[in-house]
Structure formats: structure tokens, C-alpha cells
């Protein structure tokens, strides 16, 4: 069988299943129409090739995510399995325990914010070899875990990140970075999420508010230079309002003034505000 790499809209049947399983609801930051199913080939830990990889992502990043998995395939980087999250009835812990690589799942994180997975903009790779770790209170303590919450529990054997073994993501971080997934949870302090890659939350907020053409253009700019969008405080993201004020001029400013993408957020906001201000 030839290598399988294809991108397609979700079928009506898939949309119904995703909604019925609670993986998507009408409070999600993106509609089902904006999601795409990427089908891809991959190698497992026995060096056997599979052609049944599936991951759901936001439309505008689909080509870049396809590039990521094509590069992983060329490297024969091992992936245990890649199934969409409704196959686990929307249960992330079951998906992680099965060492499943995945993306879209509309859910909240601590504090009530939507997870970046809710935008189809976060990718988790081999959770067993790249576990999620967070502080845990004593009431949640599990055997051999002390005061740490480790998901999946078997990921305990991969806490030593200097001993690189097959399926660990450290060798492939740059592949994600050059395709726009420049935020890696392995660099966080609490939680530490080695399996997790994403663009910035500020970028996700902007993409969710933009037309298709604008978000496609803007994400391409972000892939080339992520400094500004990775520095914006998503709790005070005033750039969404600027975009909504004048979408065409907002995008044109970033195309005409590439230095905007390297500025401090306040400097960039002030410059954009002056450019978008309606002449009296």
C-alpha cells in the first residue's frame, strides 16, 4: 500500500459521532466545519509501517501538520497509535493510557479556559514515552507517584529525559517548531507536558476570530516569526479586537510591516492602533 497522507473535511457521520461523544459542543471556540481529518502513515515501535493514522486539526494548520507527520514517517520515528479521541469516548486519560497520539478535543483546562486542543491546535505524541506531570495533593496520590500526578501512570519510567529512548520527542521538537507548533510543554514548569505541542494561545484566539483567507495568511506569517504572538498575554489579548475593527487593514499591516512580528506586544499594539485609527 502506498504511503497515506490526505486531508479532508469531517463527514456528516463523523460530525454526529464527535458531538454525541462529547468531543465537540456548540460552546467550542471553533465549528465542526473548520476541522479537518488528516490521515497518515507511520511506523510503530517494531519498525512496522501502518497506514491508519488519523488526527483531527484546525483547517488552516492541516498542511503544516501533514508536513510534520511526513517528516516523522521519513525518519521512521515510532508512533504507537494515532486515533481520534471519540474512539475513547472523549476520555483523555484512556487515550493516554493507550499511548495514543491525538489532537482535537473540546474541553476546559484549570481556570475555565478552553484547552488549545479545543481549537484543533495542540498535538500530543506518544503519551507513555512523553508523560504529563503536575503537582498533586495527597488525596490524589497513586502508588509510586509521591506528590506528582503522572499521566499515564506508566510514564513514570520516562521521567529521566537525559536517557533518550525510542518515541521520546526531544529529537523531533525542531520539526514541530518549524511548522508553527513552537510551544512545547516539555519546557513548562508546572505542569510539564512532554507529549504536547501547540502554537501560542494568543495565536489560537486570533485564528478562531478570523476568516479563512486571513487566518491562512496570518498563520503563514506566524510560522516564519512567532516572537510577538508567543509573547502576548492571552488573558489580555487586545489584538483580537484590533483585527475585528478592520480585518483587511490588520492583515495588510502585518504583511507590509514584518517587524511587527518581532516587537514587544505593547509596542506592536500601539503601532497597529495608530495604523488602524480612522482618520478624522
Q: 10 and 67: one domain? A: yes
pLDDT at 280: 38
Phi and psi, residue 191, nearest 5°: -80, 170
Q: 251 and 223: one domain? A: yes
Whether 74 maps to a domain, the answer reads: yes
* Residue predicted with more confidence, 3 or 254: 254
Please write the tens of the pLDDT for every residue from 34-45: 999 999 999 999
Q: Which is nearest to 232 in space by CA: 271, 190, 263?
A: 263
Q: 112 and 236: one domain? A: no
pLDDT at 16: 97
Instruction: Evaluate whether 260 touches 224 at the Cβ level (below 8 Å).
Output: no
Whether 151 maps to a domain, the answer reads: no
Please write the tens of the pLDDT for every residue from 246-274: 999 999 999 999 999 999 999 999 999 99
Instruction: Evaluate whether 229 touches 199 at the Cβ level (below 8 Å).
Output: yes
Whether 135 maps to a domain, the answer reads: no
**Is the predicted pLDDT of residue 71 greater than 80, yes or no?**
yes
Of the pLDDT bands very low, low, confident and very high (cuts 50, 70, 90), residue 146 is: low
Q: Are strands 196-198 and 183-184 parallel, antiparallel or unpaired?
A: antiparallel
Q: 103 and 25: one domain? A: yes
**Is the predicted pLDDT of residue 138 greater than 70, yes or no?**
no
Q: 191 and 235: one domain? A: no
Whether 105 maps to a domain, the answer reads: yes
Worst-scoring range by mean pLDDT, 118-122, 202-206, 240-244, 275-279?
A: 275-279
Q: 99 and 111: one domain? A: yes
Residue 108's DSSP bridge partners are: 114
Please give the distance of CA 260 from its chain centroid, rounded to a whole number: 24
Residues 6+ positions from 142 with CB-CB distance below 8 Å: 150, 153
pLDDT at 147: 76
Q: 190 and 234: one domain? A: no
Q: 119 and 249: one domain? A: no
Could you give the CA distance from residue 176 to residue 184 in angstroms, rounded to a whole number? 9
What's the mean per-residue pLDDT of the chain?
A: 93
Q: Which pTM was predicted? A: 0.93
Last residue of a domain, one of 198, 213, 239: 198
| Alpha carbon separation from 233 to 26, 228, 238 (Å, rounded) | 26, 10, 9
Residues 6+ positions from 224 with CB-CB distance below 8 Å: 261
Of the pLDDT bands very low, low, confident and very high (cuts 50, 70, 90), residue 277 is: confident
Round the CA-based radius of gyration of the chain to a whole number and report it.
Answer: 19
Q: 175 and 266: one domain? A: no
Q: 174 and 43: one domain? A: yes
Instruction: Count up the domains in the chain and report the number.
Output: 2
Whether 149 maps to a domain, the answer reads: no
pLDDT at 108: 85
**Is the predicted pLDDT of residue 169 greater than 70, yes or no?**
yes
Q: Which domain holds residue 235?
A: 201-276
Phi and psi, residue 41, nearest 5°: -95, 150
| Alpha carbon separation from 271 to 60, 86, 136, 180, 246 (Å, rounded) | 27, 44, 44, 25, 14
pLDDT at 212: 92
Whether 51 maps to a domain, the answer reads: yes
Of the pLDDT bands very low, low, confident and very high (cuts 50, 70, 90), residue 109 is: confident
Q: 35 and 19: one domain? A: yes
Q: Which is nearest to 64 in space by CA: 168, 224, 225, 181?
A: 181
Q: 118 and 242: one domain? A: no
Q: What percent of the chain has pLDDT over 90?
A: 88
Instruction: Say which CATH number the domain at 171 has.
Output: 3.30.1380
Amino acid at each position: 500500500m502506498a504511503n497515506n497522507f490526505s486531508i479532508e473535511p469531517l463527514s456528516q457521520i463523523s460530525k454526529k459521532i464527535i458531538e454525541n461523544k462529547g468531543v465537540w459542543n456548540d460552546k467550542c471556540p471553533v465549528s465542526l466545519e473548520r476541522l479537518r481529518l488528516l490521515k497518515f502513515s507511520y511506523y510503530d515501535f517494531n519498525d512496522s509501517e501502518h497506514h491508519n493514522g488519523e488526527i483531527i486539526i484546525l483547517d488552516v494548520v492541516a498542511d503544516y501538520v501533514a508536513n510534520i507527520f511526513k517528516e516523522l514517517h521519513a525518519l521512521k520515528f515510532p508512533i504507537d497509535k494515532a486515533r481520534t479521541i471519540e474512539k475513547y469516548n472523549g476520555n483523555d486519560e484512556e487515550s493516554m493510557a493507550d499511548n495514543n497520539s491525538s489532537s482535537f478535543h473540546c474541553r476546559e483546562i484549570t481556570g475555565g479556559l478552553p484547552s488549545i486542543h479545543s481549537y484543533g491546535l495542540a498535538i500530543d505524541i506518544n503519551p507513555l514515552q512523553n508523560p504529563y506531570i503536575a503537582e498533586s495533593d495527597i488525596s490524589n496520590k497513586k502508588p509510586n507517584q509521591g506528590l506528582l500526578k503522572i499521566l499515564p501512570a506508566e510514564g513514570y519510567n520516562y521521567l529521566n529525559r537525559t536517557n533518550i529512548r525510542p518515541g521520546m520527542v526531544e529529537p523531533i521538537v525542531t520539526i514541530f517548531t518549524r511548522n508553527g507548533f513552537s510551544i512545547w510543554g516539555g519546557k513548562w514548569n508546572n505542569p510539564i507536558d512532554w507529549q504536547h505541542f501547540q502554537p501560542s494561545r494568543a495565536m489560537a484566539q486570533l485564528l478562531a476570530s478570523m476568516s479563512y483567507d486571513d487566518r491562512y495568511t496570518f498563520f503563514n506569517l506566524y510560522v516564519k516569526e512567532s516572537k510577538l504572538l508567543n509573547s502576548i498575554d492571552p488573558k489580555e489579548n487586545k489584538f483580537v479586537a484590533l483585527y475585528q475593527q478592520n480585518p483587511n487593514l490588520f492583515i495588510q499591516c502585518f504583511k507590509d510591516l514584518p517587524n511587527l512580528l518581532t516587537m514587544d506586544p505593547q509596542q506592536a499594539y500601539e503601532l497597529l492602533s495608530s495604523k488602524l485609527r480612522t482618520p478624522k
